[in-house]
Amino acid sequence: MTASQPGDTGAFTLDSRLSGALGGRTAQAIQRAFGYTTVGELLAHYPRRYAARGELTALAALPLDENVTIVAEVLEVRERTMRSRRGSILEAKISDGTGILTLTFFNQAWRARDLKPGVRGMFAGKVGDYRGARQLAHPDYELFTDADAATAGDAEAMRWARAPIPIYPATSTISSWQFAASIALVLDGLGPVDDPLPDSVRAQRSLLAHRDALERVHRPEADEDWKAARRTLRFTEAFVLQTALLERRAESRAHHAEPRVPAPGGLLERFERALPFTLTGDQLAVGAEIADDLAASVPMNRLVQGEVGSGKTVVALRAMLAVAESGGQSALLAPTEVLAAQHLRSIARMLGPELSAELIPTLVTGQLPAAERRKALLRVAAGQSRIVVGTHALLGDTVSFADLGLVVVDEQHRFGVEQREALRLKGRHPPVLVLTATPIPRTVAMTVFGDLDVSTIRELPAGRAGIESFVVPLADRPGWRARVWERLAEELALGRQGFIVCPAIEPRVEEDDGEGLEQSDADAAPGAPPAASVASVLAELTGHPRFAGARVAPLHGRMSADEKDRTMRAFAAGELDVLVATTVIEVGVDVPNASVMVVVDADRFGVSQLHQLRGRVGRGSVPGLCLLVTHAEEGSLARQRVEAVASTLDGFELARIDLELRQEGDVLGASQSGGRSSLKLLRAARDGDLIADARELAAGLLAVDPGLARHPALRAAVRRRLDAEASEFLSKG
């Protein structure tokens, strides 16, 4: 017998190709829908929930346009001929006791033979709307044939009725039970599976063997099965992830770094002497941590988190100067063109003319004119420019450095680890400094940035006048809308400036191209008016008598980099009074005279996004005012999010509230939702203790077996995880 014959018992391993394990077409459909190519990846497609065979799923609140799987009973079936065209429609009504749903099939009268009244089954499809009633057109279904149960003995029948039905994340091309069937096939053919968890850890934490956990999560006989299985798989996920992160950390620390120690009378000292303000205690403390890192021969890998306006840029700039002293170059990676340009301006300003002339801060973005870009790249390659600021364009092949000595990444949550690495590879393992204004709870930091050391700036520079925040609840008080514009006008009359942030660029049209909305409409309250847009607000202000003399301009992602930059500059110079913008102004934009931030349809933004937006005002000596305008009903989750932001200025507290309100939360940003390397059962919000526990155990294991030589199954699991991450990065281009 050859072990490689697919279908043979014991033929598959977790690394077997799906195309060999399943039919080619099924394997292809699964790959297209979820990107899985191996048996292990398919087996890590865990059920989203479990339905009971006897339990009927709630039909009362079916979300329109979503792919659903429901368990229901057929009530009646009738066939009618169509008047307009030739053919027939078969209509079946199904019910779960809470509601009734119609299934329709065109020219498939034969289905009446299956769909008899009283028959129960699972039905899947996209929920449509026909004349105000919910329906599924051509749903996929699987009927529960009680045959097995009827012919089996009583005990068997009981077990059959008790077995939970796994419901898998599915798409319109591959249904939940196609997953169940494929997974059953793969499980039947799966050979022995080595446990990624060391036996000692498994025993200490009373967890199942890996093979057993896979079996029970996919084919539970009772609820206790999948619960125990999930507990094991969740812990395993945390353990493998932490092992990968700790290894990555050890790996990056294994390289040699050139120690950078600033000399007396050098660039750094000259810079500090000219600085127009004194650094805060936290800025000094974090600066000292960074200086220690830079002076060591182990490459720095540090995350600096600090509130908006806490002065992270100066901290980073001091690190750049320390590196520049010995001729090294620093690259600052910013998430948007606006921010890159602003960073360059403020760095040049802080350096002053003399140091600027020496260090030649240079901008590299995708939208530079070709000639300018060529010149910039030459200066970078020749090592003349010792401070280079740019967007992701910095990662491109055409960019090379003479001596890249420091990588600074601003607002890390927009970049993946891979991008950080791509830039790092342009030097010889240069130190990395990551800046983020999104306060990250410790457990999330451990999950996402587990390979970094973390420094925190909590203190804001003195002399900030503070920000007052208010919710403007239009659902209860529609009249307050006028009052918002009034308040804005009052501030302008005092010589101050304001921002109005909208969720969309243009009013939503029927065929939305998806670009207008910065965030999806999906979680908007039902029945809420369409999202306010830059265009509609602009039109409203233009026609408003109170803004007759005001200089108002738009700022959004569809403008060219040049236009955006010009607008931002004009605003910063006080030549514009109001910017009507999308979230392009979200991070880092700095205009001390701006005092009002109006966010329209604030419920369409996330908690941390709102907090960031609010941080745009109250940055100078004028007090800030933040008005969060919303149609969300009192008590709704959307309204709670907005109210949370108004209730506190403490970003760490907000991050905590955000995690709580999100429950299933996508704290890791896009990378957590979907995709092969994303988290499956683990939730940073909920599983903090478990993650900390797993990290400690993983660290203990790596301390005695750094190469995992004695834990081959764990090493394989770590490699699988990193491979998935890498290929995901590649597929993003």
Confirm or reject binding of residue 588 to Mg ion (CB under 5 A): yes
Give the 3-state secondary structure percentages of the chain, helix then strand then coil, rounded to 5: 40, 20, 40
305 bridge partner residues: 436, 456
> Nearer to ligand ADP by C-beta: 165 or 339?
339
* Residue 6 site contact among Mg ion, ligand ADP, none (CB < 5 to 8 Å, cut-off depends on kind): none
Confirm or reject binding of residue 615 to Mg ion (CB under 5 A): no
- Supply φ then ψ for residue 510, to 5 degrees: -50, -55
80 bridge partner residues: 89
Confirm or reject binding of residue 283 to ligand ADP (CB under 6 A): yes
Confirm or reject binding of residue 121 to Mg ion (CB under 5 A): no
Select the span of 36-44, 79-87, 179-187, 279-287 touching ligand ADP (CB under 6 A).
279-287
Per the CB < 8 A criterion, the answer to whether 43 and 15 are in contact is: no
- Residues 448-507 contacting ligand ADP, CB under 6 A: 461
* Residue 386 site contact among Mg ion, ligand ADP, none (CB < 5 to 8 Å, cut-off depends on kind): none
Which tokens is 460 given?
Answer: 């804001």
**Pairing mode of beta strands 624-630, 467-473:** parallel
* Residue 280 site contact among Mg ion, ligand ADP, none (CB < 5 to 8 Å, cut-off depends on kind): ligand ADP
> Nearer to ligand ADP by C-beta: 437 or 694?
437
Confirm or reject binding of residue 311 to Mg ion (CB under 5 A): no
> Nearer to ligand ADP by C-beta: 133 or 284?
284
Per the CB < 8 A criterion, the answer to whether 661 and 639 are in contact is: no
**Total number of residues shown for the chain:** 733
- Residues 309-338 contacting ligand ADP, CB under 6 A: 309-314
Q: Is 274 helix (H, G, I), strand (E, B) or coil?
A: helix
Select the span of 134-142, 196-204, 585-593, 599-607 touching Mg ion (CB under 5 A).
585-593
Select the span of 133-141, 307-315, 492-500, 523-531 touching ligand ADP (CB under 6 A).
307-315
- In 539-658, DSSP assigns E strands to 552-555, 578-581, 594-599, 624-630
Select the span of 112-120, 442-450, 459-467, 580-588 touching Mg ion (CB under 5 A).
580-588
Per the CB < 8 A criterion, the answer to whether 582 and 531 are in contact is: no
* Residue 447 site contact among Mg ion, ligand ADP, none (CB < 5 to 8 Å, cut-off depends on kind): none
Per the CB < 8 A criterion, the answer to whether 181 and 701 are in contact is: no
Per the CB < 8 A criterion, the answer to whether 329 and 388 are in contact is: yes
Q: Which long-range contacts (CB under 8 A, 24 or more apart) does 341-345 make?
A: 341/365, 341/561, 341/565, 341/568, 342/568, 342/588, 342/589, 342/590, 343/313, 343/389, 343/410, 343/588, 344/389
Confirm or reject binding of residue 675 to ligand ADP (CB under 6 A): no
Q: Applying CB under 6 A, which of residues 56, 103, 308, 338 lies at the interface with ligand ADP?
A: 308
What's the farthest any 2 CA atoms get from each other in the chain?
A: 92
Q: Applying CB under 6 A, which of residues 242, 280, 301, 365 lies at the interface with ligand ADP?
A: 280
**How far is Cα 454 from Cα 54, in angstroms, rounded to an integer?**
51
Confirm or reject binding of residue 335 to Mg ion (CB under 5 A): no
Burial class (CB within 10 angstroms; exposed 0-12, middle 13-18, buried 19+) of 181: middle
Confirm or reject binding of residue 498 to Mg ion (CB under 5 A): no
- Supply φ then ψ for residue 20, to 5 degrees: -85, -25
Q: Applying CB under 6 A, which of residues 41, 225, 282, 590 lies at the interface with ligand ADP?
A: 590
* Residue 29 site contact among ligand ADP, Mg ion, none (CB < 5 to 8 Å, cut-off depends on kind): none
- Supply φ then ψ for residue 281, to 5 degrees: -55, -45
The total of other beta-carbon atoms located within 10 Å of residue 415's CB is: 20
Q: Which residue has the tokens 């009973």?
A: 73
Report, in Å, the least distance between residue 356 CB and ligand ADP. 16
79 bridge partner residues: 90
Report, in Å, the least distance between residue 239 CB and Mg ion. 35
Per the CB < 8 A criterion, the answer to whether 271 and 355 are in contact is: yes
* Residue 309 site contact among Mg ion, ligand ADP, none (CB < 5 to 8 Å, cut-off depends on kind): ligand ADP
> Nearer to Mg ion by C-beta: 588 or 618?
588
- In 527-661, DSSP assigns E strands to 552-555, 578-581, 594-599, 624-630
Q: Is 500 helix (H, G, I), strand (E, B) or coil?
A: strand
**How far is Cα 575 from Cα 497, in angstroms, rounded to an integer?**
10
**How far is Cα 684 from Cα 669, in angstroms, rounded to an integer?**
12
**How far is Cα 180 from Cα 146, in angstroms, rounded to an integer?**
18
Report, in Å, the least distance between residue 349 CB and ligand ADP. 8
> Nearer to Mg ion by C-beta: 394 or 534?
394
Confirm or reject binding of residue 282 to ligand ADP (CB under 6 A): no
* Residue 279 site contact among ligand ADP, Mg ion, none (CB < 5 to 8 Å, cut-off depends on kind): ligand ADP
**How far is Cα 639 from Cα 601, in angstroms, rounded to an integer?**
10
Per the CB < 8 A criterion, the answer to whether 218 and 187 are in contact is: yes
Confirm or reject binding of residue 40 to Mg ion (CB under 5 A): no
Report, in Å, the least distance between residue 591 CB and ligand ADP. 9
Report, in Å, the least distance between residue 355 CB and ligand ADP. 15
Q: Is 237 helix (H, G, I), strand (E, B) or coil?
A: helix
* Residue 335 site contact among Mg ion, ligand ADP, none (CB < 5 to 8 Å, cut-off depends on kind): none
> Roughly what angle, to the nearest 10 degrees, separates helices 210-218 and 176-188?
150
Q: Which long-range contacts (CB under 8 A, 24 or more apart) does 79-84 make?
A: 79/109, 79/112
Confirm or reject binding of residue 52 to ligand ADP (CB under 6 A): no
* Residue 603 site contact among ligand ADP, Mg ion, none (CB < 5 to 8 Å, cut-off depends on kind): none
Confirm or reject binding of residue 572 to ligand ADP (CB under 6 A): no
Select the span of 230-238, 268-276, 451-459, 587-595 touching Mg ion (CB under 5 A).
587-595
Report, in Å, the least distance between residue 455 CB and ligand ADP. 13
Per the CB < 8 A criterion, the answer to whether 547 and 573 are in contact is: no
Confirm or reject binding of residue 355 to ligand ADP (CB under 6 A): no
Select the span of 11-19, 274-282, 488-496, 690-698 touching ligand ADP (CB under 6 A).
274-282
Report, in Å, the least distance between residue 323 CB and ligand ADP. 18
Q: CA of 418: how far to CAs of 150, 297, 304, 396, 724, in Å?
A: 56, 23, 19, 13, 12
Select the span of 145-153, 413-421, 586-594, 724-732 touching Mg ion (CB under 5 A).
586-594
> Roughly what angle, to the nearest 10 degrees, separates helices 337-359 and 561-572?
70
Size of the site for ligand ADP (CB under 6 A): 16
Confirm or reject binding of residue 616 to ligand ADP (CB under 6 A): no
* Residue 590 site contact among Mg ion, ligand ADP, none (CB < 5 to 8 Å, cut-off depends on kind): ligand ADP
Confirm or reject binding of residue 588 to ligand ADP (CB under 6 A): yes
**How far is Cα 490 from Cα 469, in angstroms, rounded to an integer?**
16
Q: Applying CB under 6 A, which of residues 48, 87, 256, 277 lies at the interface with ligand ADP?
A: 277
Select the span of 96-104, 521-529, 546-554, 583-591 touching Mg ion (CB under 5 A).
583-591
> Nearer to ligand ADP by C-beta: 272 or 563?
272
Confirm or reject binding of residue 438 to ligand ADP (CB under 6 A): no
* Residue 310 site contact among ligand ADP, Mg ion, none (CB < 5 to 8 Å, cut-off depends on kind): ligand ADP
Residue with nearest beta carbon to Mg ion: 588
Q: Applying CB under 6 A, which of residues 437, 492, 642, 655 lies at the interface with ligand ADP?
A: 437
Size of the site for Mg ion (CB under 5 A): 1
Contacts of 85 (CB under 8 A, 6+ apart): none
Report, in Å, the least distance between residue 345 CB and ligand ADP. 11
> Nearer to ligand ADP by C-beta: 309 or 405?
309
Binding site for Mg ion (CB under 5 A): 588
Q: What is the binding site for ligand ADP (CB under 6 A)?
A: 277, 279-280, 283, 306, 308-314, 437, 461, 588, 590
